[in-house]
């Protein structure tokens, strides 16, 4: 008996987002704070959120990542609600 249809793998949809903690001080600008008084770089040991879009990479400090993840959580909750889950 074939169970292939029952074992359909769950698609991972969050592959464009991950967390990195650099080990070098190579300058990486925080995408949320690029200019002005709050401008800063992500340096060695700065755990931060990385979002890749096509061939572009955006890095966000934990402060900015919180808002992004809160929004993503709200979007996921809305999708669940629409599906009655
Ligand atoms: Zn920042």
Cα 50 to averaged position of ligand 1 atoms, centre (Å): 12
Rounded Cα distance, 49 and 65, in Å: 6
52-80 per-position pLDDT tens digit = 999 999 999 999 999 999 999 999 999 99
Write a three-state SS string for 64-83.
Answer: HHHHHHHHHHHHHHHHHHHC
Cα 75 to averaged position of ligand 1 atoms, centre (Å): 22
Are 32 and 60 a contacting pair, CB within 8 Å? Answer: yes
Buried b (16+ CB within 10 A) or exposed e, 33-48: beeeeeeeebeeebeb
At residue 1, the pLDDT reads 54
Domain ranges of the chain: 17-82
Cα 22 to averaged position of ligand 1 atoms, centre (Å): 15
Share of the chain above pLDDT 70, in %: 93
């Amino acid at each position: 008996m074939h169970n292939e249809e029952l074992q359909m793998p769950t698609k991972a949809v969050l592959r464009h987002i991950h967390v990195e903690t650099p080990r070098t001080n190579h300058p990486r600008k925080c995408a949320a704070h690029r200019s002005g008084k709050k401008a800063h770089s992500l340096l060695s040991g700065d755990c931060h959120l990385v979002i890749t879009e096509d061939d572009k990479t955006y890095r966000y400090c934990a402060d900015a990542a919180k808002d992004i993840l809160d929004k993503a959580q709200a979007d996921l909750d809305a999708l669940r609600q629409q599906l009655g889950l």
